[in-house]
Amino acid sequence: MAAKRDIIILGGGHNALVAAFYLAKKGHKPLVLERRSIVGGAAVTEEFHPGFKCSTVAHAGGPPLATIVKDMQLARHGLEKLESPVRVFAPAPDGRALVLHTDPSASARQIDNFSKKDGAKYFELSKEIARAGAIASELLDLTPPVIEKPSNEDLWKLLKLGRKVRGLGKKEMMQLIRWGPMAVADFVAEFFETDLLRAVVAARGIFGASLGPWSAGSTALLLLRAAADPHPVGNSAYPRGGMGALTAAMAAAAKEAGAEIRTSAEVAQILVTHGAVTGVALANGEEMSARAVVSGADPRRTLLGLLDPVHLPPSFVVKMLNFRSNGVAAKINVALDGLPTFTALRQTSDGTAALAGRIHIGPGIDYLEHAFDDSKYGEFSRAPFLDISIPTILDNSLAPAGKHVMSIYMQFAPYKLKSSDWSQQRDALRDTVIKTVVEYAPDFPAKILALQTLTPQDLEATYGLTGGHPFHGELALDQIFTMRPLLGWARYATPVKNLYLCGNGTHPGNGVTGASGHNAAREIAKHLR
């Protein structure tokens, strides 16, 4: 066995890299072991067709918490943020276009074309979400308390949060409490009458989740995401060079701080003796001893796969088996000969600018719910919700001159199909996505040079996402905050001494913010001290 390491971190995803940086800054010497030949986890940029590169899985950047960007000095390590004034372009079935900007006034003018009343209400929604996001942002940095016996530090932090909530005023406080468990369809209906606008805002509450707009708690997910970006329809920025540029900058910062990163190093087993971690065994037979092991992999893969469950209490294993982590998303990456022509933009002087943010395909609340209905019964959506990005409009480094790449995030595609399997349905999924885009951009097929189709099973096999879930586990009311991943085990530690979790399967577990890695490193440093 090799010389004993201080801390071994499993996986090179964004949270693992963030944790490695902060632990190194605390004086530790973390070793990051990444199974693939590149770091980044699901936040990577890869060539999928000669000359064409794309953010293969995640295509919008969280965004990373401002504290992390500052502490890691990511700009100095090469991170360059690209952002269009347009956040979302949403074509309507009748040929009209809804274009929402970062500037609420510009958005309101666009909404006026559908409803003057909704244009005015958009300002109100923007303010309400910003207020709620400010409260939720306090939760992002909070280690979930132990409910049965909170520490003095837990009580102090909860008191500070409670004072901030009370500072909203009685009416706003009660409103926030009421919104949490609400279906996002009901939430948006309180503000808008335009179905397309309702759907664009509501989509943020179901993105990446096994939830429809009428599912209870989907508003809580929308508000959780507002903590990282308070804009009503979410983030549209991305790094120059794709999401891999973000994680490359994180890796550079972690190494500069003192971390070591090793790629093509697959961990086969976490080693335990007398209830405490002793190290890891690699797939090549090499064993490494360590004082502590931190897993950036999802909880099920870590605790029921890499770890022999015999080292866990039986009741914990049963609960972990019931941790929901089957995803409902697929990803299609497209090499394009040129930009497709969207019918809704034919009368626009600069249609390209409207496509520089995200493109939302999902024209109404019922449309989104019907898309979800298919997945509940083990089928992929025949009329899916699509979240699309064409990053080459702002970043010409991803494709040859004059060409483009399109990144399509598709819901709903369940990990387990009822009457078939993904090896048989891959082409049907691809064709359904193309057909859906064609309804809004008829010349789309003529512009396609190549496609890459990633089913939920591909996301599991290639990127290590158990069940193909992009967030390492379902983001639902019973699997967030003090219950992520399990009630009583939300503080990044596990029942095995010196084995910790730092991935999206822990609080807050929401996209490429880095908050889980940041919080986990703080708690791990306390334990080891």
Count other Cβ atoms within 10 Å, centred on residue 128: 21
Q: What are the tens digits of pLDDT across the range 206-235?
A: 999 999 999 999 999 999 999 989 999 998
Contact 88, 233 (CB under 8 A): yes
Give the side-chain half-sphere CA count within 13 A for 264: 1
What are the C-alpha distances in Å from 459 to residues 183, 219, 255, 479?
A: 28, 26, 27, 21
- Is residue 38 included in any domain, yes or no? yes
- Is residue 372 included in any domain, yes or no? yes
pLDDT mean over 114-142: 92
Q: Are residues 448 and 366 part of one domain? A: yes
The dihedrals phi and psi of 11, each to the nearest 5 degrees, come to: 95, 150
Q: What are the tens digits of pLDDT across the range 377-400?
A: 999 999 999 999 999 999 999 999
Quick one: CA torsion of 502, 5, 527, 311, rounded to 10 degrees? 70
Q: Are residues 441 and 333 part of one domain? A: yes
Q: Are residues 148 and 91 part of one domain? A: yes
What are the C-alpha distances in Å from 66 to residues 72, 411, 441?
A: 10, 29, 37
69 vs 246: CA distance, rounded Å: 10
Q: Which DSSP letter does residue 356 get?
A: S
Count other Cβ atoms within 10 Å, centred on residue 471: 23
Encoded amino acid at 207, one letter:
F
| Segment holding 117, helix H or strand E | helix 116-140
Q: Are residues 213 and 177 part of one domain? A: yes
**What is the total count of domains within the chain?**
2
- Is residue 54 included in any domain, yes or no? no
Q: Are residues 152 and 97 part of one domain? A: yes
Q: What are the tens digits of pLDDT across the range 496-526?
A: 999 999 999 999 998 899 999 999 999 999 9
Q: Are residues 320 and 336 part of one domain? A: no
- Decide which of 452, 477, 511 is a domain's last residue: 452
- Is residue 459 included in any domain, yes or no? no
Task: Assess whether pLDDT exceeds 70 at residue 431.
Answer: yes
Containing structural domain, residue 15: 2-46+63-77+248-324+466-528
Task: Assess whether pLDDT exceeds 70 at residue 247.
Answer: yes
- Is residue 209 included in any domain, yes or no? yes
pLDDT mean over 143-165: 76
**CATH number of the domain within which 284 lies:** 3.50.50.60
- Is residue 55 included in any domain, yes or no? no
- Decide which of 404, 430, 452 is a domain's last residue: 452
Q: Are residues 221 and 166 part of one domain? A: yes
> Cβ-count burial of 9 within 10 angstroms (0-12 exposed, 13-18 middle, 19+ buried)?
buried
Q: Are residues 441 and 293 part of one domain? A: no
> Where in 254-357 does DSSP place strands (E)?
260-262, 267-273, 276-282, 287-295, 329-336
Q: What are the tens digits of pLDDT across the range 257-307?
A: 999 999 999 999 999 999 999 999 999 999 999 999 999 999 999 999 999
316 vs 451: CA distance, rounded Å: 42
Q: Are residues 286 and 405 part of one domain? A: no
- Is residue 242 included in any domain, yes or no? no
Contact 361, 388 (CB under 8 A): yes
Q: Are residues 360 and 318 part of one domain? A: no
Q: Which DSSP letter does residue 244 get?
A: H
Q: Are residues 117 and 26 part of one domain? A: no
| Segment holding 243, helix H or strand E | helix 243-257
- Is residue 440 included in any domain, yes or no? yes
Q: Which DSSP letter does residue 304 get?
A: I
Q: Are residues 320 and 285 part of one domain? A: yes
pLDDT band at 1 (very low <50, low <70, confident <90, very high): low
